[in-house]
Structure 1
């Protein structure tokens, strides 16, 4: 009977409507383990030494703003350089997808490692602000994109029931990397120089990313994904528009929180060591919280968890960060919010797999990276423009802007959940017996 066939398919469907599964999809379903755990370790390492390194830019930003390193530079320049790290990494997603389709996963990743390493090392020799734009901005961002983007679509190919947990573990890598480099960058700056901090970031991250890239393996030969660099046909789906809108809006809050927290700590009278500790503890929260979010996502649903965590970010901003005026309150916010602020990065791959399936996943992710280019580039610029340097609440307007971004994004996620449930609700005709 049809009901028996549907029940058997549900065991491997990972919340996918059973009447949409083909025989090939059931036969080639991910193994939920095996070599996949090696890929988890590889993706964890790549996250740690790409986004983890990048999250220490808050320490660099605070240093640049307090010291006249580049006399002709403005605060907008330094904010744009940090934004370029993100936006360039996202902007080259069509190129990364094309290179992956043509040469496989590893060649573009090796090219990215070379670019990121050279970007940090060459930035250590920069003497003018335009040189910092090209090196720590564009070249590092280009390298992070080519290294990370091919790897993000690998993990969902290895996991089904544990997909979100595996993705959460990998996402925690950025938190671990952020902890390491937030303390290391400040220590190297204090003992040696800014130049050696940049060189250390480049050399250490390059070596570790090479090890991870050598070990990672995709299942493209089985899944045979449609690797379209820019598949505009996906825009015809309302669910796709909602996913992209959720990512676009939530990214404004994420970048502001990630880059501004260290300078916010300085604005309330904390020292440079305490400001660096705030950034490190933000990353500690990321390392602990992201696997927990992954487990919750597998248990309660990918879209449900993404929306709930986005709303929790809004609550934490207005309940803890806005009234924070002490070191203790700022530390509390950093630890709590660290595990939730990057909800987009934790859940975009599992949520996209829910919406479009594994075959369309790389194309969907390519669109997602393109859509978040603008908020990644200009979020911190907006935050610095909203600052009131002569006020006792210097970052108040930036805090409100970040919190409202998460609120709007949570409403978009709620609409996505409504539409997705309506689409995947089995028809009474599909449930009847033949």
Structure 2
């Protein structure tokens, strides 16, 4: 599943539109010409896709990793304790984006993408030999999260250099890499670990990260000039802008909600008596649904509005959590169905939140405002998984209240996007916003 550090995008002479009704899709227009296609632009999308295989692929593997270490290396620890490991990964993936953004703006992209690629590979290789709690915390949570941000942030930002009208589609296509990584990595752990052992299974994941990271370093390139004065930063004063503040709240809530099913679907199945191998496979199936769930909403959002699509997808996710996951019990077919449909409908939370931010601000402010939003949201992804684990612990190992909590969080996100859509885009439901 996938997060968003602060993408920094530079545009010249961006000006607010005089009239929203004449261009309902965007609050702000820009005079900068974008290729919006062509060989170079799509090679950049492929490079971004390669960068997201390690960074977002590992994020979408946390369900299997959490269930595995809970059963093996860290079986004496609670779900609450283990949750901090994976919460830290997601937190640093978001939080570091505000610092990576200015470096991306001011220098060549390889200044950040190369250390990020090396750091992710090192994190995975060290993870293969971790045994103690603090080792997992520092290796995967801290080193892995910081390094992944150095891959993901420039990947998203570079797409913004090449695409404008088709930005949501291009971003969604690149974000499918997280779903593919979330399929391949769990299956490697699931089928290779019993044969060659867990350490070598994790090392195979590391070799894949090495290859894709190398390709990302070659293919990703900026189009707009370096900007050493602007860029991403944390600017809390921007929250005085009502539309932006509401968008930040909506993003915070959706990022809080989306990681709970990703992290606990496999653990839930094991607790219901499902065979562990089948339970681990649920994480891969969830990401099978997530692949089209990242690309298709981007295609639809470019035509029907980013906030409109976010309202639909967040409400649908809440519905499936209450109607399908909450009632599935030990029914393996129902659990599997939920994993697939939730994977599809939750994809928009990964691919559309950056463009939602871009819709309520000038492009020249996009770096610092997205940096602020995702820095604030880093708190959400840090605490969501441990809080969910604490709910399980206080429920005596039961998952009912966890599921209710996840559904309520998604419903709150839906209401926040709905309010933002009405306030910023107007009450005409046919308006593309």
What range is the shorter-chain TM-score in?
0.7 to 0.9
What value does the CA root-mean-square deviation take over the aligned residues? 2.6
Match of 1:218 in 2: 222
Q: For 1:183-198, list aligned pairs within 5 A.
A: 183-198=187-202
Q: CA deviation at 1:201?
A: 2.1
Q: Partners of 1:350 and 1:342 in 2: how far apart? A: 14
What corresponds to 1:168 in structure 2?
Answer: 172
Compute the TM-score of the two structures, normalised by the length of structure 2.
0.88
Residue aligning to 2:67: 62
5+ residue gaps in structure 2? 1-16, 429-433
Q: Is residue 265 of structure 2 the alignment partner of residue 261 of structure 1?
A: yes
Match of 1:302 in 2: 306
| Alpha-carbon distance between aligned partners in 2 of 1:249 and 1:225, rounded to the nearest angstrom | 32
Q: 1:411 to 1:290 in 2, by over 3 A?
A: same
Whether 1:279 aligns to 2:278 is no
Deviation at 1:340, TM superposition (A): 2.0
Query: 1:337 is matched with which residue?
Result: 342
Post-superposition CA distance 1:373-394 (Å, at most 9, x none): 1221121111121126987x92
1:202 alignment partner in structure 2 = 206
User: How far apart in 1 are the matches of 2:278 and 2:394?
Assistant: 20
Contact 2:69 2:75 in 1 (8 A): no
Query: Are 2:367 and 1:347 equivalent residues in the alignment?
Result: no
Give 4+ residue runs of structure 1 displaced > 4 Å after superposition.
222-225, 388-391
Deviation at 1:409, TM superposition (A): 0.9
TM-score where L is the length of structure 1: 0.88
Runs of 5+ consecutive residues of structure 1 not aligned to the other structure = 1-6, 425-434
Q: In 2, Cα distance between the equivalents of 1:357 and 1:322? A: 42
Q: In the alignment, which of 231, 247, 257 is matched to residue 227 of structure 1?
A: 231
Asked which structure has the greater RCO (Cα within 8 Å, sep 6+), the reply is: 2
CA distance in 1, matches of 2:84, 2:59: 14
Counterpart of 2:332? Answer: 327
Q: 1:416 to 1:224 in 2, by over 3 A?
A: farther
Bigger radius of gyration: 1
Give the 3 Å change call, closer, same or farther, for CA 422–78 of structure 1 in structure 2: same
Quick one: which of 303, 311, 317 aligns to 2:321?
Answer: 317
Q: How many residues align?
A: 409
Structure 2: distance between partners of 1:344 and 1:206: 27
Shift in Å, 1:398: 0.7
Q: Deviations over 1:53-84 (max 9, x none)?
A: 222121121111222x2466443332111111
Alignment check: 8 A CA contact 1:153 1:361 kept: no
Alignment of 1:5-44 (within 5 A): 15-16=25-26, 21=29, 25-26=30-31, 28-34=32-38, 35-44=40-49
